[in-house]
Each structure stands twice: as structure tokens, then as C-alpha cells.
């Protein structure tokens, strides 16, 4: 199975912002008092019953790309999706700074974060970091997640495990993120649809030879750009 495609992208419980659907007519203030949830994305009208759906969607996701790809995005007007799984591959800052540095591959010689950097430096030492506010997405509840721990594990052959194979090829809904985060998994977030560049913020362009990727994202975290 080809895992190379996952690295066209660039964290977790700290910056998650629940998406809440509830009965028409209830105000956000009332909802906050009743549920204890102070931050949520939207109130949607649903039939006659009050239904609470808490989706652990980070307020911001981050996409890493090359300068050439970024120039193409500006010309086309969109961040376009990749395949298998179909979507835009992203990370969330806290998870990236912590869990992505713990998962070892190649007999422990490097981390998956190292693998990402290696892929990003394939054609250029310069990377572009883009911030995607999930509140601007058409339907953030359709975001998928994929565990890098499961992607890189070698104990179970996915060809003999349909559930694992489905997770690797399609991902799971973001509503299941907590179950992976609680285990300390490195999480890849997958936005299923193209995103207009007008809804994306350019964080900056960085040279990976002169900028440590953890320092880049630690600065993003310290400057409050995770939500």
C-alpha cells in the first residue's frame, strides 16, 4: 500500500471547538448554560427534538505545501484535494508538536515528523504553512481523521483486517478523534472538499534548513493561532 501520498500535507484536545446542533429557538446563551459548552460553531434546526452532537473539530487546521503548489493554489483559487483518502491533509498544532515526535519508524531511526520533513524537502527546502479556520468550511462535521500509528504499524496486515483497511483508505469521522487522541495517536485530519484560498490564511514561508519545524509551530501556538 502506498503511503507516500499522505505527505502532501502538513493538533488535539486543547484547541478543539465542539460543533453543536440543537433545537430551533434555543439561544446560544441558553445552550451554553444548559450544557457548559462555552464555544461552539453553529446552531442548526433539527425536527422537534433537542439533539446535541459534539464534534471534536479543531478551530484551526494547518496545511503544509511547497511554494510551487501554493502558487498554483493562488492561480486556481482553491486548495485542491488529494486521493486515498480523498481530501486535504492537515495537522492540528498540539498533536503535531507532541504525538508526531513520539512515533518512531524505520526501526526507531526517525519519527513520522522527520518523514514529513524529508518529503517536504524533496524538491525544495522552503515550505508554505497555511492556516484553515474550520468555521469557514461548508461542513466541518465531515472532516475525517487517520491515525498515523495505525498507518505505520506492522503487526497487523490490513489486507486481513477490513476495519483497519477501511480506516487507512478512507479515514474515520472526526467525531471519533477523542478515542485516538486519548491513546496518544498522531492524527492526520482530512478535509474532504476543496477549500477556497480566500478562506485560508498564509502563516508564512519557511526554509527548513534554517527553521526548525517544531519552533515554527511552537511560535504559532504561543501566538494564539490555534484557537
For the chain, what is the domain count?
1
Is residue 183 in some structural domain? yes
Is 54:172 a contact under the CB 8 Å cutoff? Answer: no
What is the percent of the chain with per-residue pLDDT over 90, rounded to a whole number? 53
Place of cell 514561508: 205
At a CB cut-off of 8 Å and minimum separation 6, what does 151 contact?
3, 6, 168, 188
- pLDDT for the residue numbered 225: 57
Return all residues near 148 (Cβ < 8 A) that are at least 6 apart: 100, 103, 112, 185, 186, 187, 188
The DSSP bridge partners found for residue 146 are: 188
In terms of residue numbers, what domain contains 168? 4-15+58-222
Whether residue 48 is contained in a domain is answered as no
pLDDT score of 120 more than 60:
yes
Per-residue pLDDT band at 131 (split at 50, 70, 90): very high
pTM for this prediction: 0.74
**Burial degree of 83 (CB within 10 A; 0-12, 13-18, 19+):** exposed
- Confirm whether 105 is domain-assigned: yes
The pLDDT assigned to 224 comes to 64
Q: Is residue 40 part of a domain?
A: no
Q: Give the pLDDT confidence score for residue 158 in this predicted structure.
A: 93
Per-residue model confidence (pLDDT) at position 210: 87
Percentage of residues of the chain with pLDDT beyond 70? 74
Integer Cα distance of 126 and 206 in angstroms: 5
Residue 154: pLDDT band by 50, 70, 90 thresholds?
A: confident
Alpha carbons 136 and 79: distance in angstroms, whole number: 14
- In the predicted structure, residue 40 carries a pLDDT above the cut 60: no
Q: Give the three-class secondary structure for 157.
A: coil
Tell whether 38 is covered by a domain: no
Residue-wise pLDDT for 191-206, tens only, equals 999 999 999 999 999 9
111 vs 120, higher pLDDT: 111
Residue of higher predicted confidence among 85 and 90: 90
**Is residue 192 in a domain?**
yes
The average pLDDT across 81-106 equals 92
Whether residue 207 is preceded by a cis peptide bond, meaning omega within 30 degrees of 0, is no
Asked if residue 31 is part of any domain, the answer here is no
Output the pLDDT for position 55.
53
Q: Tens of pLDDT along 204-213?
A: 999 988 888 8
pLDDT per residue over 45-62, tens digit each? 333 344 444 557 999 999
In a domain, 89, yes or no: yes
User: Is the predicted pLDDT of residue 106 greater than 60, yes or no?
Assistant: yes
Amino acid at each position: 500500500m502506498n503511503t507516500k501520498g499522505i505527505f502532501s500535507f502538513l493538533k488535539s484536545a486543547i484547541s478543539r471547538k465542539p460543533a453543536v446542533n440543537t433545537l430551533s429557538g434555543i439561544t446560544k446563551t441558553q445552550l451554553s448554560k444548559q450544557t457548559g459548552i462555552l464555544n461552539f460553531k453553529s446552531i442548526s434546526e433539527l425536527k422537534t427534538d433537542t439533539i446535541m452532537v459534539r464534534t471534536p473539530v479543531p478551530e484551526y487546521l494547518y496545511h503544509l505545501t511547497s511554494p510551487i503548489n501554493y502558487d498554483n493554489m493562488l492561480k486556481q483559487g482553491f486548495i485542491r484535494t488529494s486521493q486515498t483518502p480523498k481530501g486535504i491533509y492537515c495537522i492540528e498544532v498540539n498533536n503535531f508538536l507532541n504525538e508526531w515526535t513520539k512515533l518512531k519508524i524505520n526501526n526507531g531511526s526517525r519519527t513520522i515528523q522527520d518523514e514529513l520533513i524529508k518529503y517536504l524537502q524533496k524538491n525544495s527546502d522552503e515550505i508554505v504553512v497555511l492556516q484553515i479556520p474550520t468555521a469557514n468550511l461548508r461542513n466541518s462535521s465531515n472532516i475525517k481523521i487517520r491515525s498515523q500509528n495505525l498507518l505505520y504499524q506492522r503487526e497487523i496486515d490490513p489486507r486481513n483486517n477490513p476495519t483497519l483497511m477501511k480506516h487507512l483508505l478512507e479515514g474515520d469521522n472526526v467525531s471519533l478523534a477523542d478515542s485516538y487522541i486519548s491513546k496518544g495517536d498522531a492524527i492526520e485530519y482530512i478535509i474532504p472538499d476543496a477549500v477556497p484560498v480566500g478562506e485560508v490564511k498564509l502563516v508564512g514561508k519557511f526554509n527548513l534548513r534554517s527553521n526548525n519545524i517544531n519552533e515554527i509551530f511552537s511560535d504559532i501556538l504561543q501566538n494564539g493561532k490555534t484557537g
